[in-house]
Amino acid sequence: MKNTFLNNKKILKIIGLVILILLCLFSFVCFIDTYNKLYKSGELISDYSIRKGHPTRLNHAVNINSINTWMTFDYINVIFKLPKNYLQNTFNITDPRYPNIRIGNYTKQHNLNLREFMHNLELAITNYSKLK
Amino acid sequence: MDFLVQAFIPYILLYKYWALFVITFLAASSFPIPAGTLLVASAAFASQGYFNITILLFVVIIANIIGDNLLYWLSRLYGRKFLSRFSFINKFLLSRNYNLIEKNINKRPKLVIFISRFEVISTLSINLICGLGKVEYKKFLLFEILGTFANVLFYTIIGYSFGNSWQAVNKLIGDFTIVFFLLIALILSLFWKKVITKLNENI
């Protein structure tokens, strides 16, 4: 009886170890896969490489598609080097919290269509960089 | 990562250094918030010109040191009294394995304190164990400060040098952390008996 219990315990330990080893291998493969995907898509680039002008990485500045709902207008003004009032004037923003308000919150509180607003925001930024 | 972005980064953007201070302090003193990941993001914001890197470093280092020391002293002064109210924690604190760990850390605290700064769960655990085990305060403070400097600089350099790619870097760090902890779990389960014997020999 005791021997059977010990044997069962051993078998459970071995099964546990095998699962752990498989998890390790799986997560390692995931890590390598993520690295490859990010590297190939050009998302994983150091600023040093950009400054050095690596041929495959020339177009990687702050990507306009990377604008997200958690970003504040203040942050967008800084990363795209926009004048403080440019977005305020373009979108007629009267909210007193501007520029310290999240895009997501702003569209929600003013009942705006988020997708449309984001699209217009991207256009406004592109237009500004063209004007410059 | 999405959860992190949604939960903490907007506050960092809105309240800047205040938010950084509070989040880092909470991560060092009480809550397992992945401060390293947030530091990578904040350093990236600094590289984009949103933060001043010197102020950022100063705020994060100070918040870390205050948070670590607060947890150390709270657990040193009131830890045993408070934790012994919970029977399962009390049972764990009185267990042979916990005593073994506590005695080993007490004997050689330097490296453990230094390395533990790089991961939020280990930081909280070691601060707690050092306080409960009454590790000599001078030693704790010295290696806590050194570890904090190394940890903050490590994450800041990554975030600052990858700048706009910080989200990709954080994703990689997240995946790597999973591999790392699974490996640690595997090594511990394979060599558990040897680890316990070695810890016993060290005392």
> What is the least distance, in Å, from the CA of B73 to any CA of chain A?
37
> What is the least distance, in Å, from the CA of B142 to any CA of chain A?
33
Burial class (CB in 10 A: 0-12, 13-18, 19+), B81: exposed
Taking residues A114-129, report their average pLDDT.
90
Taking residues B174-178, report their average pLDDT.
82
- Number of structural domains chain A divides into: 2
Residues above pLDDT 90, as percent of chain B: 41
ipTM for the assembly: 0.75
> What is the least distance, in Å, from the CA of A130 to any CA of chain B?
21
Taking residues B83-93, report their average pLDDT.
87
Mean pLDDT of chain B, nearest integer = 87
For residue B96, pLDDT beyond 90:
no
Cβ neighbours of residue B125 closer than 8 Å, sequence gap 6 or more: B116
Q: Which residue has the higher pLDDT, B183 or A58?
A: B183
Which range has highest mean pLDDT (A67-71, A76-80, B51-55)? B51-55
The whole-number pLDDT of residue B98 equals 86
- Same domain for A69 and A39? no
A118 pLDDT tier (thresholds 50, 70, 90): very high
- Same domain for A26 and A76? no
Residue A25 CA to residue B186 CA, distance in Å, equals 11
User: Across the interface, do A61 and B164 touch by the CB < 8 Å criterion?
Assistant: yes
Q: Which residue has the higher pLDDT, A5 or A28?
A: A28
Residue A83 CA to residue A129 CA, distance in Å, equals 11
Residue A93 CA to residue A89 CA, distance in Å, equals 7
- Same domain for A70 and A126? yes
Residue B150 CA to residue B157 CA, distance in Å, equals 10
| Whole-number Cα distances in Å, B1 to B45, B93, B120 | 16, 34, 16
User: Across the interface, do A72 and B10 touch by the CB < 8 Å criterion?
Assistant: yes
Low-confidence winner among A50-59, A115-124, B81-90, B123-132 (lowest mean pLDDT): A50-59
For residue A6, pLDDT beyond 70:
no
> What is the least distance, in Å, from the CA of A80 to any CA of chain B?
9
Check: CB of residue B105 under 8 Å from CB of residue B130: yes
- Same domain for A76 and A48? no
For residue B146, pLDDT beyond 50:
yes
- Same domain for A68 and A94? yes
The whole-number pLDDT of residue A34 equals 81
- Same domain for A30 and A49? yes
| Whole-number Cα distances in Å, A6 to A13, A18, B191, B194 | 10, 18, 19, 20
Among B48, B165, B185, select the one facing A78 at the smallest CB separation: B48
Q: Which residue has the higher pLDDT, B138 or A50?
A: B138
The predicted-structure confidence for B20-39, as pLDDT tens digits, reads as follows 999 999 988 888 888 888 99
Render B147-179 in DSSP notation, one character per residue. Answer: HHHHHHHHHHHHHHHHGGGHHHHHHHHHHHHHH
Residue B7 CA to residue B76 CA, distance in Å, equals 32
Please list the residues that pair with B107 across neighbouring strands.
Answer: none
**Window A:17-56, CB contacts with B under 8 Å:** 17, 20-21, 23-24, 27-28, 30-31, 34-35, 38, 43-48, 50
User: Across the interface, do A38 and B6 touch by the CB < 8 Å criterion?
Assistant: no
Q: How many residues does chain A have?
A: 132
Please list the residues that pair with A102 across neighbouring strands.
Answer: A72
Domain of residue A74, residue span = 64-131
The whole-number pLDDT of residue B4 equals 64
- Same domain for A41 and A81? no
- Same domain for A31 and A52? yes
SS3 of residue A72 by DSSP: strand
Residues above pLDDT 90, as percent of chain A: 28
User: Across the interface, do B164 and A66 touch by the CB < 8 Å criterion?
Assistant: yes
Given A57, A72, A96, which residue is the final one in a domain? Answer: A57
Given A57, A73, A102, which residue is the final one in a domain? Answer: A57
Q: Which residue has the higher pLDDT, B142 or A39?
A: B142
- Same domain for A48 and A103? no
Which one of B2, B8, B14, B190 would you mutate to disrupt binding with A, by most A Cβ within 10 Å of its Cβ? B14
The whole-number pLDDT of residue B68 equals 94
Low-confidence winner among A109-113, B105-109, B145-149 (lowest mean pLDDT): B105-109
Which one of A18, A36, A47, A72 would you mutate to disrupt binding with B, by most B Cβ within 10 Å of its Cβ? A47
- Same domain for A78 and A40? no
Q: Which amino acid is at B6?
A: Q
User: Across the interface, do A27 and B175 touch by the CB < 8 Å criterion?
Assistant: yes
Mean pLDDT of chain A, nearest integer = 81
For residue B172, pLDDT beyond 70:
yes
Residue B39: left if φ>0, alpha if ψ -120 to 50, beta else—which one? alpha
User: Across the interface, do A63 and B164 touch by the CB < 8 Å criterion?
Assistant: yes
The whole-number pLDDT of residue A42 equals 72
> What is the least distance, in Å, from the CA of B4 to any CA of chain A?
11
- Same domain for A14 and A50? yes
Residue B101 CA to residue B187 CA, distance in Å, equals 17
B7 at interface of A, judged by CB pairs closer than 8 A: no
- Same domain for A53 and A70? no
Residue B79 CA to residue B68 CA, distance in Å, equals 14
The whole-number pLDDT of residue A109 equals 92
The predicted-structure confidence for A87-115, as pLDDT tens digits, reads as follows 999 999 998 999 999 999 999 999 999 99
Low-confidence winner among B94-98, B181-185, B188-192 (lowest mean pLDDT): B188-192
| CA dihedral over B147, B153, B154, B159, signed as positive or negative | positive
A77 at interface of B, judged by CB pairs closer than 8 A: no
Which range has highest mean pLDDT (B56-65, B98-107, B172-181)? B56-65
For residue A52, pLDDT beyond 70:
no
